[in-house]
């Protein structure tokens, strides 16, 4: 079973990274900084495997905050306030994306008696029907978020 999954924002952002590489003319040599805090290296190591100028510093482990040198910077949301001030002049405002997500974990404390007890109580069927028919969950998905910043040097249209 897959417990925690990469959120759909990651492949969407990858398309933007590919476009930025084309717009700058750097293609797979565009400088990218991915914050490695909380294992953020994955899945980026796969998506950016052909991008030779990608760095994976662990921002949380650095003794003093340093401005990343990437034209594109992806930060763990926990480290946003540490670095954001140094990015404000040369980068776009950070945009929040969902890095990973997972189903709510209310099942962890469920006892066999409670589970089988719901079979005989139709009033308890509602949440199961909501999930299996409408894909509604009783609680929000768990998530880990990132912020992405693009250098203001990235042109909005291809070079002539």
Mean pLDDT by 10 residues, the chain (160 residues): 81 96 95 93 94 94 84 94 89 94 76 78 76 79 91 81
Long-range contacts made by residues 37-43, C-beta under 8 angstroms, separation at least 24?
37/61, 37/76, 37/78, 37/79, 38/76, 38/78, 38/144, 40/74, 40/76, 40/99, 40/146, 43/6, 43/10
pLDDT value of residue 160: 65
| pLDDT reported for residue 128 | 75
End-to-end CA distance of the chain: 49
pLDDT in the model for residue 29: 98
Give the per-residue pLDDT at 56: 95
Residues 45, 25, 65, 84, CA torsion sign = negative
CA–CA separation, 109 and 134 (whole Å): 24
pLDDT reported for residue 32: 98
Helix (H, G, I), strand (E, B) or coil at 15: helix
């Amino acid at each position: 079973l897959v417990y925690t999954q990469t959120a759909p924002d990651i492949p969407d952002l990858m398309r933007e990274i590919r476009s930025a590489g084309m717009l700058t003319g750097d293609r797979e040599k565009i400088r990218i900084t991915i914050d490695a805090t909380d294992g953020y290296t994955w899945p980026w190591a796969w998506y950016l495997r052909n991008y030779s100028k990608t760095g994976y510093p662990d921002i949380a482990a650095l003794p003093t905050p340093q401005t990343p040198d990437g034209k594109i910077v992806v930060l763990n949301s926990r480290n946003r306030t540490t670095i954001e001030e140094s990015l404000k002049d040369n980068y776009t405002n950070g945009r929040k994306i969902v890095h990973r997500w997972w189903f709510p974990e209310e099942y962890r404390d469920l006892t066999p008696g409670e589970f089988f007890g719901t079979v005989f109580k139709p009033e308890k069927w509602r949440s199961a029907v909501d999930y299996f028919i409408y894909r509604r969950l009783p609680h929000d998905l768990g998530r880990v978020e990132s912020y992405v910043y693009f250098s203001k040097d990235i042109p909005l249209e291809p070079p002539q």
